[in-house]
Structure 1
Amino acid sequence: MADAAREVADRMAEAARAWLDSLDADQRKVAVGPRPGADDPAEAERTRWFYTPTDHGGLTFHQQRPAQHRMVMRLVATGLSEAGYATVATVLGLENVLDRVEGFSVNWGRERTRDPGMYYLRVFGEPGGARPWGWRFGGHHVSLNNLVIDGRVTATTPCFLGADPAVSPLLGGAKLRPLGTAEDLARELVRSLRPEAAARALLLPRAPNDIVAGNSSRVTDRVVRRSDLWRPGPYTPDRAEHPSTGLDGAHQRALALTPEPKGVPGAELDAAQRELLSALLGTYLDRVPDGVSPLSRYEDPAALDAVHLAWAGSTTAGEPHYYRLQGPRLLIEWTNIHRGVNHAHAVWRDPETDFGGDVLAAHHAAHHA
């Protein structure tokens, strides 16, 4: 695993250097950020992330030549499995589909609102070597955050993918569902539970408006407000100031994230249900290359025992719903609520080491940086 993480980091560094070498001076000013852990203001920028169609920070495709676009995607590919890369590329292309769904009419005051050119890349620090460095790629429904320390990939979260529309028709009656398996497996699992367990898994009959942790830099029980999901600036849509979950009072408390996971633990599942749980974890943890994915951790029965499934909303296909998987070093959240239950959000986080977390702090303490 360690050697594989180093090999992935080497590929990342090579691709990042090639991209940076292609940039002119003006492009580099936007494309390069301070070394991770350099100072508090810089870290606040590096650890602020988005999944809305707003300014994610960095150089957009529009600010680059086609040859540089290819270099961007080459770097993105180093942080993803083959399936993960295909899914990300599909999500980028869905901007064109969404534009048609909305009648090519949505106008937020920029030249194009649903824009596959508005994805941003920024490299933090100098790629390669022992010093920490990282990169971030994001735009509407994509946020990839990678950190390398001592020549090894040490963090790949938060890792967010969304799909709007979640289901699109294809020729011959086929359907495009980039995140469909993550929905289907979870529903099959929760519907397979015994009545008593199903009652404990269901936190609330109503689904929240969005993932509970939102785009918080650290996972806490703070409810992320709708306005926090957008970077202030000229392209920020007019959004009311209310919790992004759309819940309050007892409903909000029922769904709140707590250190002790809510729901039903893997330890109470039968063999078939545990297989479903493992497969569901794979739809998230297989986004990244084998060398850095923690999926093998759950081959240990004790690790799978500790993963809790919680649900909110309906378990009937086509109706609004939310679920999460929570355990040590794991938080997965899913929603499909809006646009007639055709707009999915799916995020994987490691509450201890999102953006590098304690690993980065330990590195700086050891090296007096």
Structure 2
Amino acid sequence: MTDGDREVATRMAEAALAWLDSLDAEQRAAAAWPAPDTGGAAEAERTRWFYTPTDHGGLTFHQQRPAQHRLAMRVVASGLSEAGYTTVATVLGLENVLDRVEGFSVNWGRERTRDPGMYYLRVFGEPGGREPWGWRFGGHHVSINNLVVDGRVAATTPCFLGADPAASPLLGGAALRPLGSAEDLARDLVQSLHPDLARRAVLLSRPPNDVVAGNSTAIEDRVVKRSELWRPGQHVPDRAGQPVTGLDGENRRALALTAAPRGAPGSELDAAQRELLRALLSTYLDRVPEAVSPLSRYDDPAALDAVHFAWAGSTTAGEPHYYRLQGARLLVEWTNVHRGANHAHAVWRDPEADFGGDVLAAHHAAHHAV
């Protein structure tokens, strides 16, 4: 491992400290949380995450002065590549576009429902040094989770981005599609498969309503309910007790997350298809700085061989669909179903070590054993 992850961790710490130092006592009470640990209420909060417009935990933009808001965005930028930051900033701005799409009329009992000021930043522990610390930034369609241990970035997942609308008109006939490449590359890949391999890749003729793992803390084969997508006491969606996927019975089992990946393996793709697969991976793994991205892992042909590509729903552009990429320490899920297939969710996870639980446990065993 190079020192690049240390440099990223240093930038994160400098940005987080500058932001925390700008806050008054009341603001810090919401912004600063106990250090990452191997259990307890504080750790349960660190590993609780959302991608809906609910309370993500932390200090919102609304609770900060403009100069503090700027410092908060510096923290966000410290954990992202340039392209990743631009995409996140665009997703935040889409709240204003979505408000217009809905006629500025949606009312969930708060002052503004589609709200670009309702994004939350929270720091866990003391930034810098060798002790574990981390930070989380989230709001509607954004969840960024970072852990630093022994001065190195130990985890950058779960990492969720969404877009509603997924495509919006711009002047001159252009379109704003923040996640467009993640959709187009996957469709190109599934459409390129020969019939036998396509039958293995397409797991179900209809897509799930949402990503199968939802906002679960740990990836496992269980039904995530719609109510879990919202913090208790906040707005609860209709059909709260139903599965987020809208699937049951054989349909649910067809798309269930299993330890052995389903779909078409990279090992059976031709050279052009493998290029598409790696390019598709980059639309997720390039969200973070190059020094902490696992994308280079897939320069190894054996690693790319082990990535499985699966699809559900229509393969025709503009129609509802879902796909996933699954392999060792990798789960990517995508849906574009609602608003006439104009509402995208795209999440990157590490099934073995989301939130850096493995590194955190090793650190505590080495340095804090009784």
TM-score interval, smaller chain:
over 0.9
Structure 1 partner of 2:9: 9
Structure 2 partner of 1:141: 141
Structure 1 partner of 2:90: 90
Output the CA distance in 1 between the equivalents of 2:223 and 2:151: 36
Sort the Cα spacing of 1:240 and 1:39 in 2 relative to 1 into closer, same or farther, 3 A: closer
Structure 2 partner of 1:249: 249
Output the CA distance in 2 between the equivalents of 1:197 and 1:69: 49
User: What amino acid maps onto 1:271 in structure 2?
Assistant: A
Secondary structure of the residue aligned to 1:291 is: helix
What is the RMSD computed on CA atoms of the aligned residues?
Answer: 0.8
Question: How far has the Cα of 1:236 moved from its partner?
Answer: 3.4
The 5 A counterparts of 1:267-346 are 267-346=267-346
Cα deviation, 1:301-353, whole Å, max 9, x if unaligned, reads: 00000000000000000111000000000000000000110000000000111
2:38 corresponds to 1:27: no
**Contact residue 110 and residue 235 of structure 1 kept, 8 A:** no
Structure 1 partner of 2:192: 192
Output the CA distance in 2 between the equivalents of 1:162 and 1:175: 16
Structure 2 partner of 1:201: 201
> Which shifted more, 244-253 or 234-243?
234-243
Output the CA distance in 1 between the equivalents of 2:213 and 2:38: 26
Cα deviation, 1:7-32, whole Å, max 9, x if unaligned, reads: 00000000000000000000000001
Output the CA distance in 2 between the equivalents of 1:16 and 1:239: 39
Structure 2 partner of 1:47: 47
Output the CA distance in 1 between the equivalents of 2:322 and 2:287: 20
The 5 A counterparts of 1:219-238 are 219-238=219-238
Structure 2 partner of 1:111: 111
Question: How far has the Cα of 1:38 moved from its partner?
Answer: 5.9
Compute the TM-score of the two structures, normalised by the length of structure 1: 0.99
Task: Report the identity percentage.
Answer: 81
Output the CA distance in 2 between the equivalents of 1:172 and 1:114: 27
User: What amino acid maps onto 2:97 in structure 1?
Assistant: V
What runs of 5+ residues in structure 1 fail to find an aligned partner? none
Sort the Cα spacing of 1:269 and 1:38 in 2 relative to 1 into closer, same or farther, 3 A: closer
Sort the Cα spacing of 1:286 and 1:224 in 2 relative to 1 into closer, same or farther, 3 A: same
Sort the Cα spacing of 1:38 and 1:326 in 2 relative to 1 into closer, same or farther, 3 A: closer
**Contact residue 54 and residue 236 of structure 1 kept, 8 A:** no
Secondary structure of the residue aligned to 1:220 is: coil
Output the CA distance in 2 between the equivalents of 1:72 and 1:26: 16
Structure 2 partner of 1:355: 355
Output the CA distance in 2 between the equivalents of 1:139 and 1:233: 16
* Aligned length in residues: 369
Structure 2 partner of 1:263: 263
Compute the TM-score of the two structures, normalised by the length of structure 2: 0.99
**Contact residue 38 and residue 357 of structure 2 kept, 8 A:** no
Output the CA distance in 2 between the equivalents of 1:203 and 1:23: 50
Output the CA distance in 1 between the equivalents of 2:3 and 2:334: 32
The 5 A counterparts of 1:121-140 are 121-140=121-140
Output the CA distance in 2 between the equivalents of 1:178 and 1:26: 35
User: What amino acid maps onto 2:246 in structure 1?
Assistant: G
What runs of 5+ residues in structure 2 fail to find an aligned partner? none
